[in-house]
């Protein structure tokens, strides 16, 4: 693909977090951009307000003629979540257009840059957002494509230069096999996306294949304990990059950070949870490879604000705390529970969870039940189907029956506010990767008034 020959780019699934970042990139480099998505969201509204034409009906008549009539100069980008019988997709296939998956385009854009890629079944978005923040704060000119909205620059996309790039190496649909990074990390390899991989062993094999795509002389950082060869990082262990002597003061971690070459004392980091400490540590290690002074990186680590929907405080006062998180896997739910317990001990907690995908709920039902049952009070919403059709016998009532909480209940989204008020928690947590995120503003508004 020669970007100079592309005049316009059409996205099928433009509202996805990764797709919207690419749409912003092409608009930034003065390509004409438009796209389809099945649902209007704040992300698509922002794209539209920036001048990108977005529509919500799968109908080729809704696509502007300039995109339909010039295959030679039009690139079509699609997400794997789009079904093969999608009418617009089929039109472009049948009429000779250049059609590429999002991951292919990302690989092509970043292949000639010094690419820093963050892989792992959990932690990609937070780690890549910390990495982009560290590089930005220390003056490294780079392009960042993120899987969430960074609270530091209020976007999932940043373009300040093209010599360096920061990307998420997504294992879904083996997308990360399109990347050729200079520096990469693997944060975790827990079983997930078994609808794609079949079993955990195949997922692990594919992660190993990804690590072999590093450019010659490239560096790999691996969370200590994972079955991969690379520079290790961890907490209070024998890792190459290690956090030691952790204290918590006023909700902030203070610790020493050791690398193979130096030790930094009194480093600060504000995001709760040991998993986030590890994310910050590997982001620091990766950022060092771009050349900024380590003490500047440590200063920048202390100013990282966070990512929307990643242990994001919506309300935080003496009487009531509301936290929203994207957690949609048992390991992530455990991380949220442990972070809340560490930062806010001995509080009455109410967690609301929306399962994501029928297949994931089926594959990890026992693990979900165990992790959710750690919360004293839990409200469960119906499964968000995303790209899937229902699976017989797999629903939230079935999952609820596997849980052991004394106070657990299946509710509809319409019941959320009344249930919160009935239970009157000291800490409220909403979790899930589906449309529960669209409920956050309503909950925040109502509970800010109530509290």
295 is an annotated ligand-binding site residue: no
Tokens standing for residue 30: 């003065």
437 is an annotated ligand-binding site residue: no
CB 121 within 8 A of CB 196: no
236: left (phi over 0), alpha (psi -120 to 50) or beta: left
39 is an annotated ligand-binding site residue: no
143 is an annotated ligand-binding site residue: no
120 is an annotated ligand-binding site residue: yes
Q: Tell me how far apart the alpha carbons of residues 420 and 390 are, in angstroms, rounded to a whole number.
A: 28
3-state secondary structure string across 259-270: CCCCEEEEEEEC
Specify burial of residue 69 (Cβ count, 10 A radius: 0-12, 13-18, 19+).
exposed
Q: Tell me how far apart the alpha carbons of residues 126 and 213 are, in angstroms, rounded to a whole number.
A: 23
Strand 183-186, strand 114-119: pairing: parallel
CB 353 within 8 A of CB 431: yes
430 is an annotated ligand-binding site residue: no
Q: Is the dihedral of CA 316, 319, 325, 330 positive or negative?
A: positive
126 is an annotated ligand-binding site residue: yes
Q: From residue 427, how far is each of 319, 330, 449 by CA, in Å? A: 9, 20, 16
Annotated binding site: 120-126
Annotated binding site for ATP: 120-126
């Amino acid at each position: 693909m020669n970007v100079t020959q592309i005049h316009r780019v059409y996205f099928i699934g433009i509202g996805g977090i990764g797709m919207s970042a690419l749409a912003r990139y092409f608009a930034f480099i003065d390509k004409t951009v438009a796209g389809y998505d099945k649902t209007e969201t704040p992300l698509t509204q922002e794209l539209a307000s920036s001048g990108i034409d977005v529509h919500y009906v799968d109908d080729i008549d809704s696509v502007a003629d300039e995109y339909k009539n010039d295959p030679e100069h039009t690139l079509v980008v699609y997400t794997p979540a789009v079904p093969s019988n999608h009418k617009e997709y089929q039109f472009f296939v049948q009429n000779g257009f250049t059609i590429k998956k999002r991951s292919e385009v990302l690989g092509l854009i970043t292949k000639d840059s010094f690419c820093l890629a963050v892989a792992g079944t959990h932690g990609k978005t937070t780690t890549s957002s910390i990495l982009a923040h560290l590089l930005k704060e220390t003056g490294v000119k780079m392009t960042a494509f993120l899987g969430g909205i960074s609270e530091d620059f209020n976007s999932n996309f940043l373009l300040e230069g093209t010599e360096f790039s920061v990307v998420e190496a997504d294992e879904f649909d083996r997308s990360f096999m399109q990347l050729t990074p200079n520096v990469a990390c693997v944060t975790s390899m827990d079983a997930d996306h078994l609808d794609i991989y079949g079993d955990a062993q195949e997922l692990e094999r594919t992660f190993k294949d990804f690590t072999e795509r590093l450019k010659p002389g490239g560096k790999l950082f691996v969370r200590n304990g994972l079955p991969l060869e690379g520079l290790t990082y961890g907490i209070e262990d024998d890792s190459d990059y290690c956090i030691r002597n952790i204290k918590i003061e006023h909700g902030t971690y203070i610790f020493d950070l050791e690398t193979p070459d130096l030790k930094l004392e009194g480093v600060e980091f504000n995001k709760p949870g040991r998993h986030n400490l590890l994310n910050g540590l590997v982001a620091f290690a990766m950022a060092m490879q771009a050349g900024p002074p380590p003490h500047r990186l440590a200063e920048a680590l202390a100013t990282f604000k966070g990512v929307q929907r990643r242990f994001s405080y919506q309300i935080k006062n003496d009487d009531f705390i509301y936290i929203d998180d994207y957690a949609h896997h048992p390991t992530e739910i455990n991380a949220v529970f442990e972070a809340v317990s560490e930062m806010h001990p001995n509080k009455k907690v109410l967690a609301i969870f929306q399962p994501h995908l029928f297949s994931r709920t089926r594959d990890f039902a026992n693990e979900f039940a165990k992790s959710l049952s750690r919360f004293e009070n839990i409200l469960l919403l119906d499964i968000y189907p995303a790209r899937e059709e229902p699976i017989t016998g797999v629903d939230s009532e079935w999952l609820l029956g596997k849980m052991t909480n004394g106070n657990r209940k299946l509710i509809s989204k319409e019941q959320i506010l009344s249930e919160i008020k009935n239970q009157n928690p000291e800490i409220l947590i909403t979790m899930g990767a589906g449309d529960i995120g669209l409920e956050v503003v309503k909950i925040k508004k109502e509970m800010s008034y109530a509290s």
